[in-house]
């Protein structure tokens, strides 16, 4: 089991201003799964993804990652898991305009000890996988939206994580480009990596092996 969540809760604020975003979620995700998380706006999808991705901590419950309870890990330990085990793909790409494509791709490697040449070669390898190596010296603004998302996927893969988390990865793209990005994510899953996608798009979700529906911060039983 890669991920095991038990009675996960997340609240924001205190007293009269307290808002409950996640209300006792139980969820298991096996290594190598491709899972879609769906639900209306405000259902807790992105909050759940942030907890799984160790970006945010749950207010209650337990989170087992590779059979280790990381619920009480400090920020440094969670950062290590994020850097070594998890790759992120966001709707808005989150690329840095001051860096070229290789430099954007290898950003996760800057937190690890390794040679600059080795990191550059790894970045070029990942850009080759997403068919953008010939553009490696360009800046993000010189690319189309689909190309920028491919760079974001290359960046997510560069650290050889076991888990890819994608938050609306096709949301800012046209339909045909979105299909290309989903094809790439399916290929990544077929290579053995676990992929979790938050999406509103039923066509995107249909390409996943399992769909989890959230409603009011809880898993909706089918």
In a domain, 85, yes or no: yes
Flag whether 134 is in a domain.
no
Mean pLDDT of successive 10-residue segments in the chain (222 residues)?
A: 97 85 96 96 94 95 96 94 94 94 94 83 96 97 96 96 96 93 96 96 95 94 62
Q: What is the CATH number of the domain that holds 38?
A: 3.40.50.300
The neighbour count for residue 91, using CB atoms within 10 Å, is: 18
Residues with Cβ within 8 Å of residue 136, at least 6 apart in sequence: 100, 101, 102, 123, 124, 127
Report how many domains make up the chain.
Answer: 1
Per-residue model confidence (pLDDT) at position 43: 94
Residue 47: domain span: 3-95+161-219
Determine the Cα–Cα distance for residues 69 and 22; give it in Å rounded to an integer: 19
Q: Which pLDDT score, from 0 to 100, does residue 180 have?
A: 95
Q: 137 lies in a domain?
A: no
Flag whether 111 is in a domain: no
- Cβ contact 185:153 at 8 Å: yes
For residue 16, what pLDDT is reported?
77
pTM: 0.94
End-to-end Cα, the chain, rounded Å: 23
> Is residue 107 in some structural domain?
no
Task: Answer whether residue 109 is part of any domain.
Answer: no
Q: Is residue 100 part of a domain?
A: no
71 φ, ψ to 5°?
Answer: -55, -35
DSSP string across 77-95: HHHHHHHHHEEEEETT---
Strand order across the beta sheet in which 34-38 lies: 86-90, 163-167, 194-198, 34-38, 210-215, 218-219
CB atoms within 10 A of CB 134: 9
Is position 147 within any domain? Answer: no
């Amino acid at each position: 089991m890669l991920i095991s969540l038990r009675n996960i809760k997340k609240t924001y604020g205190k007293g009269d201003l307290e808002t409950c975003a996640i209300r006792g979620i139980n969820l298991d995700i096996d290594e190598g799964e491709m899972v879609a998380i769906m639900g209306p706006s405000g259902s807790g999808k992105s909050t759940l993804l942030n907890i799984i991705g160790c970006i945010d901590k749950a207010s209650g419950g337990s989170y087992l990652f590779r059979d280790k309870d990381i619920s009480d890990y400090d920020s440094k330990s969670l950062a290590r898991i994020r850097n070594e085990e998890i790759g992120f793909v966001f709707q808005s790409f989150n690329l840095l305009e001051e860096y070229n494509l290789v430099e954007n791709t290898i950003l996760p490697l800057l937190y690890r000890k390794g040679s600059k040449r080795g990191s550059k070669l790894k970045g070029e390898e990942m850009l080759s996988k997403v068919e953008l190596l010939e553009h490696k010296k360009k800046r993000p603004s010189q690319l189309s939206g689909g190309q920028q998302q491919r760079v974001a996927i290359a960046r997510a893969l560069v650290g050889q994580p076991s888990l890819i988390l994608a938050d609306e990865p096709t949301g800012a793209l046209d339909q045909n480009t979105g299909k290309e990005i989903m094809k790439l994510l399916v290929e990544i899953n077929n290579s053995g990596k676990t992929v979790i996608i938050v999406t509103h798009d039923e066509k995107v979700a249909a390409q996943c092996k399992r769909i989890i529906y959230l409603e009011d911060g809880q898993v909706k039983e089918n």
